[in-house]
Amino acid sequence: MRFIVLALVAAGAAAAQSQGSPLGAALGAGRGANTLSLPMQIVLLLTALTLLPAALVSVTPFLRITVVLHFLRQALGTQTTPSNQVLLGMALFLTFLVMQPVLADIYEQSWEPLERGEITAAQALERARQPLRAFLLRYVREKDVATLLEISKTPPPATPDDLELRILIPAYVLSELKTGFQIGAVLFMPFLVIDLVVASVTLSVGMVQLPPVMISAPFKVLLFVLVDGWNLVVGSLVKSFY
């Protein structure tokens, strides 16, 4: 994660310096003679862009939201409706909504002082890590952290704030996967009851021409619409991060 932020900072410096803006002068003054060459900054930027999707999926609410929406579509039995593009787009915008306070803190504490030349890129990077670490610590489970500390043979930190991101990020991913699967299991229950009832009724009357899943699908969709399911699911997902 440090490498991604550092690469983006270096790329911003390259663009600013090439245009001769005050931002470029500020960054150059902050780093002194250690300014990277423009080709190296471009290489760092391209490398960071390849890692950004993995960072977006692993250190944001995007993971939990996509897992829950996938389970919801499977429970409804609508196969490809909504499409993957729609679900991913909804998850992306909800992620930006939830992460807006964290991004605002990173911008105010890290980027603005760096732009004014008050701190160096290394100091800006360290400041940017603090809001992200605070966000991850809120949703990570102690059991997952202990497991990864044991696997990596790392001594337990004195305080949660001393926990390294290399341990915190995978622990957050494990915690979000468990939470997403728990929510998905709860979503499955009412639709599973409908499937069981329809299957029992169709078998009792000897209707074997149509599969029970095809008969129960309209009832599941109708139930979901009547209870305003999208509002309930999306609202509960977003509120779970506050």
Query: From the first residue on, what is the mean pLDDT of each consecutive set of 10 residues in the chain (242 residues)?
Result: 42 39 38 60 79 80 90 84 86 89 85 79 80 86 87 82 82 90 88 84 74 78 86 87 81
Yes or no: say if 59 and 65 are a contact pair by the CB < 8 Å rule: no
Q: How far apart are CA 181 and CA 123, in angstroms?
A: 38
Determine the pLDDT at residue 105.
86
What separation in angstroms does the CA of 100 have from each of 95, 103, 106, 170, 195?
Answer: 8, 5, 10, 22, 40
> What's the pTM value of the predicted model, to 2 decimals?
0.73
Short-list 33, 99, 42, 39, CA closest to 65: 99
Nearest 10 degrees: CA dihedral of 69, 57, 43, 27? 110
Yes or no: say if 82 and 117 are a contact pair by the CB < 8 Å rule: no
- CA atoms lying within 13 Å on the CB side of residue 140: 27
Determine the pLDDT at residue 208.
66
Determine the pLDDT at residue 16.
40
Place of tokens 């009357």: 205
Amino acid at 78: T
Determine the pLDDT at residue 36.
63
Determine the pLDDT at residue 122.
78
Residue 120: both structure tokens together: 């160096």
